[in-house]
Structure 1
Protein backbone atom coordinates (compact mmCIF):
# COMPACT_ATOMS: atom_id res chain seq x y z
CA UNK A 1 0.00 0.00 0.00
CA UNK A 2 1.18 3.52 -0.76
CA UNK A 3 2.65 5.18 2.36
CA UNK A 4 0.86 8.51 1.83
CA UNK A 5 -2.49 6.82 1.29
CA UNK A 6 -1.94 4.68 4.39
CA UNK A 7 -1.11 7.69 6.56
CA UNK A 8 -4.06 9.68 5.26
CA UNK A 9 -6.49 6.97 6.41
CA UNK A 10 -4.85 6.38 9.80
CA UNK A 11 -5.97 8.12 12.98
CA UNK A 12 -3.12 8.69 15.44
CA UNK A 13 -4.04 8.91 19.13
CA UNK A 14 -2.67 11.59 21.37
CA UNK A 15 -0.55 9.41 23.65
CA UNK A 16 -0.13 12.21 26.15
CA UNK A 17 -3.76 11.72 27.11
CA UNK A 18 -3.25 8.03 27.97
CA UNK A 19 -1.03 8.75 30.96
CA UNK A 20 -1.12 11.37 33.66
CA UNK A 21 2.06 13.35 33.26
CA UNK A 22 2.58 16.82 34.67
CA UNK A 23 4.03 17.81 31.28
CA UNK A 24 3.75 16.10 27.88
CA UNK A 25 6.78 13.88 27.31
CA UNK A 26 6.50 13.79 23.58
CA UNK A 27 4.49 15.92 21.17
CA UNK A 28 2.98 13.64 18.55
CA UNK A 29 1.95 15.27 15.31
CA UNK A 30 -1.49 14.76 13.87
CA UNK A 31 -2.01 12.63 10.79
CA UNK A 32 -1.77 15.86 8.76
CA UNK A 33 1.57 16.55 10.42
CA UNK A 34 2.91 13.12 9.54
CA UNK A 35 1.64 13.53 6.00
CA UNK A 36 3.61 16.75 5.68
CA UNK A 37 6.75 14.87 6.81
CA UNK A 38 6.47 11.94 4.42
CA UNK A 39 4.36 13.11 1.50
CA UNK A 40 5.09 15.79 -1.11
CA UNK A 41 3.11 19.02 -0.86
CA UNK A 42 1.19 18.23 -4.03
CA UNK A 43 0.14 14.78 -2.78
CA UNK A 44 -3.49 13.93 -3.66
CA UNK A 45 -3.89 12.52 -0.14
CA UNK A 46 -3.05 15.87 1.46
CA UNK A 47 -5.13 17.86 -1.03
CA UNK A 48 -8.16 15.66 -0.36
CA UNK A 49 -7.71 15.90 3.41
CA UNK A 50 -7.33 19.70 3.39
CA UNK A 51 -10.30 20.14 1.07
CA UNK A 52 -12.47 17.99 3.34
CA UNK A 53 -11.51 19.98 6.44
CA UNK A 54 -12.12 23.30 4.70
CA UNK A 55 -15.56 22.21 3.54
CA UNK A 56 -16.57 21.00 6.99
CA UNK A 57 -15.53 24.22 8.76
CA UNK A 58 -18.32 26.71 9.52
CA UNK A 59 -17.65 30.15 7.98
CA UNK A 60 -17.21 32.93 10.54
CA UNK A 61 -19.49 35.85 9.74
CA UNK A 62 -18.21 39.29 10.79
CA UNK A 63 -20.46 41.21 13.14
CA UNK A 64 -22.20 44.13 11.51
CA UNK A 65 -21.45 47.44 13.19
CA UNK A 66 -23.83 50.35 13.33
CA UNK A 67 -22.38 53.22 11.29
CA UNK A 68 -21.31 56.48 12.84
CA UNK A 69 -22.76 59.69 11.45
CA UNK A 70 -20.44 62.70 11.57
CA UNK A 71 -22.22 65.95 10.64
CA UNK A 72 -20.56 69.30 10.09
CA UNK A 73 -22.85 72.31 10.37
CA UNK A 74 -22.65 75.36 8.12
CA UNK A 75 -24.30 77.28 5.31
CA UNK A 76 -24.04 76.26 1.64
CA UNK A 77 -22.74 78.48 -1.15
CA UNK A 78 -19.65 80.54 -1.95
CA UNK A 79 -20.98 83.49 0.04
CA UNK A 80 -20.48 81.60 3.31
CA UNK A 81 -17.41 79.52 2.43
CA UNK A 82 -14.53 80.09 4.83
CA UNK A 83 -16.59 81.99 7.41
CA UNK A 84 -16.57 81.29 11.13
CA UNK A 85 -20.04 79.78 11.06
CA UNK A 86 -18.80 77.13 8.60
CA UNK A 87 -15.98 75.54 10.58
CA UNK A 88 -18.15 72.43 11.01
CA UNK A 89 -18.17 72.00 7.23
CA UNK A 90 -14.41 72.48 7.10
CA UNK A 91 -13.61 69.88 9.73
CA UNK A 92 -15.77 67.29 7.95
CA UNK A 93 -13.92 68.14 4.73
CA UNK A 94 -10.63 67.56 6.57
CA UNK A 95 -11.86 64.15 7.81
CA UNK A 96 -12.99 63.18 4.29
CA UNK A 97 -9.61 64.13 2.81
CA UNK A 98 -7.59 62.38 5.52
CA UNK A 99 -9.61 59.15 5.27
CA UNK A 100 -10.13 59.12 1.51
CA UNK A 101 -13.93 59.38 1.72
CA UNK A 102 -15.47 61.13 -1.31
CA UNK A 103 -18.13 63.76 -0.54
CA UNK A 104 -19.41 64.08 -4.09
CA UNK A 105 -22.97 62.79 -3.78
CA UNK A 106 -26.05 64.67 -2.60
CA UNK A 107 -28.49 62.71 -0.44
CA UNK A 108 -30.94 63.66 2.30
CA UNK A 109 -30.44 67.35 1.48
CA UNK A 110 -26.74 67.04 2.29
CA UNK A 111 -23.36 66.60 0.68
CA UNK A 112 -22.85 63.00 1.61
CA UNK A 113 -20.08 60.41 1.83
CA UNK A 114 -19.79 56.83 3.08
CA UNK A 115 -16.60 55.01 4.04
CA UNK A 116 -14.67 53.45 6.90
CA UNK A 117 -12.26 54.76 9.48
CA UNK A 118 -10.19 51.81 10.66
CA UNK A 119 -12.86 49.12 10.88
CA UNK A 120 -15.68 51.52 11.76
CA UNK A 121 -18.27 52.34 9.07
CA UNK A 122 -18.92 56.07 8.90
CA UNK A 123 -21.22 58.49 7.10
CA UNK A 124 -20.06 62.08 6.61
CA UNK A 125 -22.62 64.79 5.94
CA UNK A 126 -22.80 68.54 5.37
CA UNK A 127 -26.47 69.66 5.35
CA UNK A 128 -27.30 71.98 2.45
CA UNK A 129 -30.53 73.30 4.01
CA UNK A 130 -28.90 76.37 5.58
CA UNK A 131 -27.98 76.32 9.24
CA UNK A 132 -31.41 76.98 10.76
CA UNK A 133 -32.95 73.94 9.03
CA UNK A 134 -30.11 71.46 9.60
CA UNK A 135 -32.45 69.10 11.46
CA UNK A 136 -34.35 68.29 8.27
CA UNK A 137 -31.26 66.69 6.77
CA UNK A 138 -29.79 65.13 9.91
CA UNK A 139 -33.12 63.72 11.06
CA UNK A 140 -33.71 62.05 7.68
CA UNK A 141 -30.27 60.38 7.67
CA UNK A 142 -30.63 59.08 11.23
CA UNK A 143 -34.12 57.75 10.52
CA UNK A 144 -33.19 56.04 7.24
CA UNK A 145 -30.03 54.31 8.53
CA UNK A 146 -31.45 53.74 12.05
CA UNK A 147 -28.33 55.23 13.63
CA UNK A 148 -28.27 55.27 17.46
CA UNK A 149 -28.08 58.85 18.75
CA UNK A 150 -24.97 57.96 20.75
CA UNK A 151 -23.25 57.47 17.36
CA UNK A 152 -24.29 60.81 15.87
CA UNK A 153 -21.48 63.37 16.21
CA UNK A 154 -22.34 67.01 15.51
CA UNK A 155 -19.46 69.37 14.69
CA UNK A 156 -20.12 73.12 14.89
CA UNK A 157 -18.77 76.56 15.82
CA UNK A 158 -18.95 77.95 19.36
CA UNK A 159 -18.71 81.62 20.34
CA UNK A 160 -18.12 80.75 23.98
CA UNK A 161 -14.91 78.80 23.40
CA UNK A 162 -11.54 80.51 22.87
CA UNK A 163 -10.47 80.61 19.25
CA UNK A 164 -9.13 77.27 17.97
CA UNK A 165 -10.03 75.30 21.09
CA UNK A 166 -11.97 72.02 20.79
CA UNK A 167 -14.40 70.61 23.29
CA UNK A 168 -15.99 67.15 23.05
CA UNK A 169 -19.12 66.56 25.12
CA UNK A 170 -21.44 63.52 25.36
CA UNK A 171 -24.64 65.58 25.32
CA UNK A 172 -26.04 69.01 26.21
CA UNK A 173 -28.32 71.80 25.11
CA UNK A 174 -28.18 73.89 21.96
CA UNK A 175 -26.33 76.79 23.61
CA UNK A 176 -28.13 79.30 21.40
CA UNK A 177 -26.84 77.69 18.20
CA UNK A 178 -29.64 77.68 15.63
CA UNK A 179 -28.37 74.59 13.81
CA UNK A 180 -28.37 72.62 17.05
CA UNK A 181 -31.84 73.93 17.91
CA UNK A 182 -33.16 72.53 14.64
CA UNK A 183 -31.51 69.13 15.15
CA UNK A 184 -32.71 68.71 18.73
CA UNK A 185 -36.21 69.58 17.54
CA UNK A 186 -36.08 66.83 14.90
CA UNK A 187 -34.84 64.38 17.55
CA UNK A 188 -38.08 65.09 19.48
CA UNK A 189 -36.27 67.16 22.08
CA UNK A 190 -33.51 64.65 22.77
CA UNK A 191 -30.00 66.08 23.04
CA UNK A 192 -28.29 62.83 24.09
CA UNK A 193 -25.77 62.76 21.28
CA UNK A 194 -22.07 63.74 21.26
CA UNK A 195 -20.92 67.06 19.90
CA UNK A 196 -17.52 68.47 18.98
CA UNK A 197 -17.49 72.23 19.46
CA UNK A 198 -14.91 74.42 17.70
CA UNK A 199 -14.08 77.71 19.36
CA UNK A 200 -14.26 80.80 17.14
CA UNK A 201 -13.88 83.36 19.95
CA UNK A 202 -16.04 86.32 20.90
CA UNK A 203 -16.81 89.30 18.64
CA UNK A 204 -14.61 92.32 19.31
CA UNK A 205 -16.10 95.36 21.03
CA UNK A 206 -19.81 95.72 20.47
CA UNK A 207 -19.93 93.86 17.16
CA UNK A 208 -23.16 91.99 16.49
CA UNK A 209 -22.51 88.23 17.00
CA UNK A 210 -24.50 87.46 13.83
CA UNK A 211 -22.18 89.68 11.80
CA UNK A 212 -19.13 88.19 13.53
CA UNK A 213 -19.91 84.54 12.70
CA UNK A 214 -20.27 85.51 9.03
CA UNK A 215 -16.77 87.00 8.90
CA UNK A 216 -13.85 85.13 7.29
CA UNK A 217 -10.72 84.29 9.26
CA UNK A 218 -7.54 86.32 9.17
CA UNK A 219 -4.40 84.75 7.72
CA UNK A 220 -2.98 84.12 11.20
CA UNK A 221 -6.27 82.63 12.41
CA UNK A 222 -6.36 80.36 9.38
CA UNK A 223 -2.89 79.00 10.20
CA UNK A 224 -3.93 78.29 13.79
CA UNK A 225 -7.16 76.72 12.59
CA UNK A 226 -5.27 74.23 10.44
CA UNK A 227 -3.74 72.77 13.61
CA UNK A 228 -7.21 72.66 15.18
CA UNK A 229 -8.53 70.65 12.24
CA UNK A 230 -5.61 68.20 12.46
CA UNK A 231 -6.43 67.62 16.10
CA UNK A 232 -10.14 67.32 15.26
CA UNK A 233 -9.46 64.63 12.64
CA UNK A 234 -7.46 62.62 15.18
CA UNK A 235 -10.17 63.12 17.82
CA UNK A 236 -12.77 61.60 15.49
CA UNK A 237 -10.50 58.63 14.76
CA UNK A 238 -10.07 57.98 18.48
CA UNK A 239 -13.80 58.37 19.08
CA UNK A 240 -14.78 55.80 16.45
CA UNK A 241 -12.04 53.28 17.21
CA UNK A 242 -11.39 53.62 20.96
CA UNK A 243 -14.55 55.15 22.40
CA UNK A 244 -15.85 58.43 23.73
CA UNK A 245 -13.86 58.57 26.98
CA UNK A 246 -10.46 58.25 25.29
CA UNK A 247 -11.40 60.82 22.68
CA UNK A 248 -12.70 63.26 25.30
CA UNK A 249 -9.46 62.88 27.26
CA UNK A 250 -7.45 63.55 24.11
CA UNK A 251 -9.52 66.61 23.18
CA UNK A 252 -10.31 68.18 26.52
CA UNK A 253 -7.05 67.63 28.45
CA UNK A 254 -4.37 67.44 25.73
CA UNK A 255 -3.20 71.04 26.32
CA UNK A 256 -2.58 70.42 30.02
CA UNK A 257 -0.60 67.26 29.24
CA UNK A 258 1.58 69.15 26.75
CA UNK A 259 2.32 71.84 29.34
CA UNK A 260 3.35 69.25 31.95
CA UNK A 261 5.68 67.54 29.43
Structure 2
Protein backbone atom coordinates (compact mmCIF):
# COMPACT_ATOMS: atom_id res chain seq x y z
CA UNK A 1 0.00 0.00 0.00
CA UNK A 2 1.23 3.38 -1.00
CA UNK A 3 1.40 5.45 2.18
CA UNK A 4 1.64 8.77 0.36
CA UNK A 5 -1.45 8.05 -1.73
CA UNK A 6 -3.41 7.10 1.38
CA UNK A 7 -2.47 10.29 3.14
CA UNK A 8 -3.41 12.46 0.18
CA UNK A 9 -6.88 10.93 0.04
CA UNK A 10 -7.66 11.92 3.63
CA UNK A 11 -9.37 15.40 4.03
CA UNK A 12 -7.90 17.15 7.04
CA UNK A 13 -9.94 20.12 8.34
CA UNK A 14 -8.06 23.39 8.21
CA UNK A 15 -9.39 24.55 11.58
CA UNK A 16 -8.16 22.71 14.68
CA UNK A 17 -11.26 23.76 16.66
CA UNK A 18 -13.47 21.65 14.38
CA UNK A 19 -11.79 18.47 15.76
CA UNK A 20 -11.46 19.79 19.32
CA UNK A 21 -7.64 19.64 19.34
CA UNK A 22 -5.89 22.04 21.65
CA UNK A 23 -3.36 22.82 18.91
CA UNK A 24 -3.56 22.50 15.16
CA UNK A 25 -2.03 19.37 13.70
CA UNK A 26 -0.90 21.16 10.57
CA UNK A 27 -0.10 24.86 10.30
CA UNK A 28 -1.62 26.25 7.11
CA UNK A 29 -1.43 30.07 7.10
CA UNK A 30 -3.54 30.44 4.01
CA UNK A 31 -6.45 28.45 5.36
CA UNK A 32 -7.50 30.37 8.54
CA UNK A 33 -11.12 30.09 9.50
CA UNK A 34 -12.61 33.62 9.26
CA UNK A 35 -16.29 34.42 9.79
CA UNK A 36 -17.37 38.07 8.97
CA UNK A 37 -20.84 39.28 9.76
CA UNK A 38 -22.54 40.70 6.62
CA UNK A 39 -24.26 43.33 8.78
CA UNK A 40 -21.00 44.57 10.24
CA UNK A 41 -19.40 44.55 6.82
CA UNK A 42 -22.18 46.67 5.29
CA UNK A 43 -22.12 49.13 8.20
CA UNK A 44 -18.37 49.54 8.03
CA UNK A 45 -18.55 50.06 4.29
CA UNK A 46 -21.20 52.76 4.72
CA UNK A 47 -19.10 54.60 7.33
CA UNK A 48 -16.03 54.42 5.15
CA UNK A 49 -18.00 55.69 2.15
CA UNK A 50 -19.45 58.60 4.11
CA UNK A 51 -16.01 59.59 5.39
CA UNK A 52 -14.50 59.52 1.93
CA UNK A 53 -17.42 61.49 0.47
CA UNK A 54 -16.99 64.37 2.94
CA UNK A 55 -19.76 66.40 4.69
CA UNK A 56 -23.26 66.37 3.28
CA UNK A 57 -24.64 69.43 1.40
CA UNK A 58 -27.02 70.12 4.31
CA UNK A 59 -24.12 70.08 6.79
CA UNK A 60 -22.06 72.36 4.56
CA UNK A 61 -24.95 74.81 4.22
CA UNK A 62 -25.46 74.91 7.99
CA UNK A 63 -21.75 75.46 8.60
CA UNK A 64 -21.55 78.20 5.97
CA UNK A 65 -24.61 79.92 7.39
CA UNK A 66 -23.19 79.89 10.91
CA UNK A 67 -19.93 81.41 9.66
CA UNK A 68 -21.64 84.31 7.88
CA UNK A 69 -21.89 87.55 9.93
CA UNK A 70 -25.41 88.44 10.95
CA UNK A 71 -26.84 91.28 8.91
CA UNK A 72 -27.58 94.38 10.97
CA UNK A 73 -30.80 96.34 10.77
CA UNK A 74 -30.57 99.76 9.08
CA UNK A 75 -30.80 103.10 10.85
CA UNK A 76 -32.58 106.20 9.62
CA UNK A 77 -30.88 109.44 10.63
CA UNK A 78 -32.99 112.55 10.05
CA UNK A 79 -31.80 116.14 10.30
CA UNK A 80 -34.47 118.85 10.58
CA UNK A 81 -34.38 122.24 8.89
CA UNK A 82 -35.90 124.41 6.20
CA UNK A 83 -35.08 123.94 2.49
CA UNK A 84 -33.79 126.72 0.27
CA UNK A 85 -30.78 129.00 0.13
CA UNK A 86 -32.42 131.71 2.21
CA UNK A 87 -32.44 129.39 5.23
CA UNK A 88 -29.03 127.82 4.74
CA UNK A 89 -26.70 128.39 7.69
CA UNK A 90 -29.44 129.58 10.06
CA UNK A 91 -29.81 128.34 13.62
CA UNK A 92 -32.96 126.42 12.74
CA UNK A 93 -30.99 124.36 10.22
CA UNK A 94 -28.32 122.81 12.44
CA UNK A 95 -30.05 119.45 11.98
CA UNK A 96 -29.42 119.70 8.23
CA UNK A 97 -25.79 120.66 8.85
CA UNK A 98 -25.21 117.73 11.22
CA UNK A 99 -26.51 115.29 8.58
CA UNK A 100 -24.29 116.95 5.97
CA UNK A 101 -21.30 116.46 8.28
CA UNK A 102 -22.13 112.76 8.65
CA UNK A 103 -22.61 112.31 4.90
CA UNK A 104 -19.27 113.97 4.12
CA UNK A 105 -17.31 112.07 6.75
CA UNK A 106 -18.79 108.67 5.83
CA UNK A 107 -18.82 109.39 2.07
CA UNK A 108 -22.57 108.88 1.72
CA UNK A 109 -23.95 110.73 -1.34
CA UNK A 110 -27.12 112.73 -0.65
CA UNK A 111 -28.02 112.93 -4.32
CA UNK A 112 -31.45 111.29 -4.42
CA UNK A 113 -34.92 112.34 -3.31
CA UNK A 114 -37.27 110.01 -1.45
CA UNK A 115 -40.60 110.92 0.14
CA UNK A 116 -39.94 114.65 -0.15
CA UNK A 117 -36.54 114.35 1.48
CA UNK A 118 -32.99 114.74 0.27
CA UNK A 119 -31.84 111.19 0.77
CA UNK A 120 -28.75 108.99 0.83
CA UNK A 121 -27.80 105.39 1.65
CA UNK A 122 -24.49 104.05 2.90
CA UNK A 123 -22.72 102.48 5.87
CA UNK A 124 -21.20 103.57 9.13
CA UNK A 125 -18.82 100.75 9.94
CA UNK A 126 -20.82 97.64 9.08
CA UNK A 127 -24.20 99.22 9.89
CA UNK A 128 -26.45 100.21 6.96
CA UNK A 129 -27.58 103.83 7.23
CA UNK A 130 -30.11 106.09 5.54
CA UNK A 131 -29.70 109.85 5.84
CA UNK A 132 -32.60 112.22 5.24
CA UNK A 133 -33.20 115.97 5.19
CA UNK A 134 -36.96 116.62 4.80
CA UNK A 135 -37.76 119.27 2.20
CA UNK A 136 -41.26 119.95 3.52
CA UNK A 137 -40.23 122.89 5.74
CA UNK A 138 -39.71 122.41 9.45
CA UNK A 139 -43.31 122.51 10.66
CA UNK A 140 -44.33 119.66 8.30
CA UNK A 141 -41.32 117.38 8.81
CA UNK A 142 -43.55 114.44 9.77
CA UNK A 143 -45.07 114.38 6.27
CA UNK A 144 -41.69 113.22 5.01
CA UNK A 145 -40.33 111.25 7.96
CA UNK A 146 -43.51 109.26 8.62
CA UNK A 147 -43.73 107.70 5.12
CA UNK A 148 -39.95 107.05 5.09
CA UNK A 149 -40.16 105.04 8.30
CA UNK A 150 -43.24 103.17 7.11
CA UNK A 151 -41.89 102.33 3.64
CA UNK A 152 -38.48 101.11 4.80
CA UNK A 153 -39.97 99.44 7.90
CA UNK A 154 -37.48 101.06 10.27
CA UNK A 155 -38.20 100.36 13.96
CA UNK A 156 -38.60 103.63 15.87
CA UNK A 157 -35.75 102.72 18.20
CA UNK A 158 -33.47 103.04 15.15
CA UNK A 159 -34.76 106.40 13.95
CA UNK A 160 -32.46 109.19 15.15
CA UNK A 161 -33.82 112.72 14.75
CA UNK A 162 -31.39 115.64 14.99
CA UNK A 163 -32.71 119.15 15.61
CA UNK A 164 -32.04 122.55 17.14
CA UNK A 165 -33.02 123.32 20.73
CA UNK A 166 -33.59 126.77 22.22
CA UNK A 167 -33.48 125.38 25.75
CA UNK A 168 -29.91 124.06 25.52
CA UNK A 169 -26.86 126.32 25.87
CA UNK A 170 -25.25 127.14 22.56
CA UNK A 171 -23.27 124.28 20.96
CA UNK A 172 -24.18 121.80 23.71
CA UNK A 173 -25.33 118.32 22.67
CA UNK A 174 -27.88 116.14 24.40
CA UNK A 175 -28.74 112.55 23.37
CA UNK A 176 -31.99 111.13 24.72
CA UNK A 177 -33.73 107.77 24.09
CA UNK A 178 -37.20 109.32 23.89
CA UNK A 179 -39.24 112.36 24.93
CA UNK A 180 -41.73 114.96 23.87
CA UNK A 181 -41.39 117.66 21.24
CA UNK A 182 -40.33 120.37 23.73
CA UNK A 183 -42.07 123.03 21.68
CA UNK A 184 -40.08 122.21 18.53
CA UNK A 185 -42.61 122.19 15.69
CA UNK A 186 -40.66 119.79 13.50
CA UNK A 187 -40.61 117.24 16.32
CA UNK A 188 -44.28 117.89 17.01
CA UNK A 189 -45.10 117.02 13.40
CA UNK A 190 -43.01 113.83 13.48
CA UNK A 191 -44.61 112.61 16.72
CA UNK A 192 -48.05 113.19 15.20
CA UNK A 193 -47.11 111.05 12.19
CA UNK A 194 -45.78 108.37 14.54
CA UNK A 195 -49.30 108.17 16.00
CA UNK A 196 -48.20 109.92 19.16
CA UNK A 197 -45.22 107.65 19.86
CA UNK A 198 -42.22 109.40 21.41
CA UNK A 199 -40.10 106.23 21.72
CA UNK A 200 -37.32 107.15 19.33
CA UNK A 201 -33.86 108.61 20.04
CA UNK A 202 -33.06 112.24 19.37
CA UNK A 203 -29.90 114.34 19.30
CA UNK A 204 -30.55 117.90 20.37
CA UNK A 205 -28.15 120.69 19.40
CA UNK A 206 -28.27 123.78 21.58
CA UNK A 207 -28.60 127.11 19.78
CA UNK A 208 -29.10 129.24 22.91
CA UNK A 209 -31.80 131.81 23.54
CA UNK A 210 -32.17 135.30 22.10
CA UNK A 211 -30.96 138.17 24.19
CA UNK A 212 -33.22 141.02 25.22
CA UNK A 213 -36.65 141.14 23.63
CA UNK A 214 -35.69 139.52 20.31
CA UNK A 215 -38.48 137.40 18.84
CA UNK A 216 -37.58 133.68 19.07
CA UNK A 217 -38.82 133.15 15.49
CA UNK A 218 -36.40 135.78 14.21
CA UNK A 219 -33.66 134.33 16.39
CA UNK A 220 -33.91 130.77 15.03
CA UNK A 221 -33.80 132.14 11.48
CA UNK A 222 -30.70 134.24 12.20
CA UNK A 223 -27.15 133.17 11.30
CA UNK A 224 -24.17 132.44 13.50
CA UNK A 225 -21.31 134.77 14.25
CA UNK A 226 -17.81 133.78 13.17
CA UNK A 227 -16.93 132.76 16.71
CA UNK A 228 -20.14 130.75 17.07
CA UNK A 229 -19.43 129.01 13.77
CA UNK A 230 -16.01 127.87 14.98
CA UNK A 231 -17.49 126.41 18.14
CA UNK A 232 -20.36 124.84 16.22
CA UNK A 233 -17.92 123.06 13.90
CA UNK A 234 -16.38 121.45 16.96
CA UNK A 235 -19.88 120.41 18.06
CA UNK A 236 -20.52 118.76 14.70
CA UNK A 237 -17.35 116.71 15.10
CA UNK A 238 -18.50 115.50 18.50
CA UNK A 239 -21.94 114.81 17.11
CA UNK A 240 -20.41 112.70 14.35
CA UNK A 241 -18.45 110.66 16.88
CA UNK A 242 -21.60 110.26 18.98
CA UNK A 243 -23.50 108.85 15.99
CA UNK A 244 -20.72 106.38 15.26
CA UNK A 245 -20.71 105.18 18.86
CA UNK A 246 -24.50 104.93 18.86
CA UNK A 247 -24.63 102.68 15.81
CA UNK A 248 -21.57 100.56 16.56
CA UNK A 249 -21.52 100.33 20.38
CA UNK A 250 -25.02 101.14 21.56
CA UNK A 251 -27.09 103.97 23.01
CA UNK A 252 -25.68 103.94 26.55
CA UNK A 253 -22.07 104.43 25.49
CA UNK A 254 -23.06 107.17 23.07
CA UNK A 255 -25.18 108.97 25.66
CA UNK A 256 -22.31 108.86 28.16
CA UNK A 257 -19.96 110.29 25.55
CA UNK A 258 -22.38 113.05 24.51
CA UNK A 259 -23.95 114.08 27.76
CA UNK A 260 -20.70 114.35 29.71
CA UNK A 261 -18.78 116.11 26.94
CA UNK A 262 -17.48 119.59 27.68
CA UNK A 263 -17.80 122.53 25.37
CA UNK A 264 -14.68 124.23 24.17
CA UNK A 265 -13.97 127.44 25.98
CA UNK A 266 -15.06 130.53 24.12
CA UNK A 267 -12.24 132.88 23.35
CA UNK A 268 -12.70 136.54 24.10
The answer, yes or no, to whether TM exceeds 0.5 is yes
Counterpart of 1:97 in structure 2 is: 104
Counterpart of 2:166 in structure 1 is: 159
Stretches (4+) displaced over 4 A = 51-56
Aligned with 1:112 (options 90, 107, 119)? 119
Aligned with 2:73 (options 61, 66, 73)? 66
In structure 2, the CA distance between the partners of 1:54 and 1:118, relative to structure 1 (3 Å rule), is farther
Give the TM-score normalised by structure 1.
0.76
In the TM superposition, what is the alpha-carbon distance from 1:66 to its structure 2 partner?
A: 1.6
Give the TM-score normalised by structure 2.
0.74
In the TM superposition, what is the alpha-carbon distance from 1:204 to its structure 2 partner?
A: 1.0
The answer on 1:139 being equivalent to 2:146 is yes
Counterpart of 1:57 in structure 2 is: 60
Q: Deviations over 1:145-190 (max 9, x none)?
A: 1111010000000000000000000111000000000000000000
In structure 2, the CA distance between the partners of 1:100 and 1:54, relative to structure 1 (3 Å rule), is farther
In the TM superposition, what is the alpha-carbon distance from 1:53 to its structure 2 partner?
A: 6.6
Aligned with 2:95 (options 88, 95, 105)? 88
Partners of 1:217 and 1:203 in 2: how far apart?
12
Superposed counterparts of 1:192-207, under 5 Å: 192-207=199-214
The answer on 1:122 being equivalent to 2:129 is yes
The answer on 1:75 being equivalent to 2:82 is yes
Larger radius of gyration: 2
The answer on 1:231 being equivalent to 2:234 is no
Gaps of 5+ in 1: 1-48, 257-261
Partners of 2:141 and 2:253 in 1: how far apart?
28
Coordinate RMSD, CA, aligned: 1.7
In the TM superposition, what is the alpha-carbon distance from 1:54 to its structure 2 partner?
A: 11
**SS of match in other structure, 2:240:** helix
**SS of match in other structure, 2:83:** coil
Counterpart of 2:4 in structure 1 is: none
**SS of match in other structure, 1:79:** helix
Aligned residues: 207
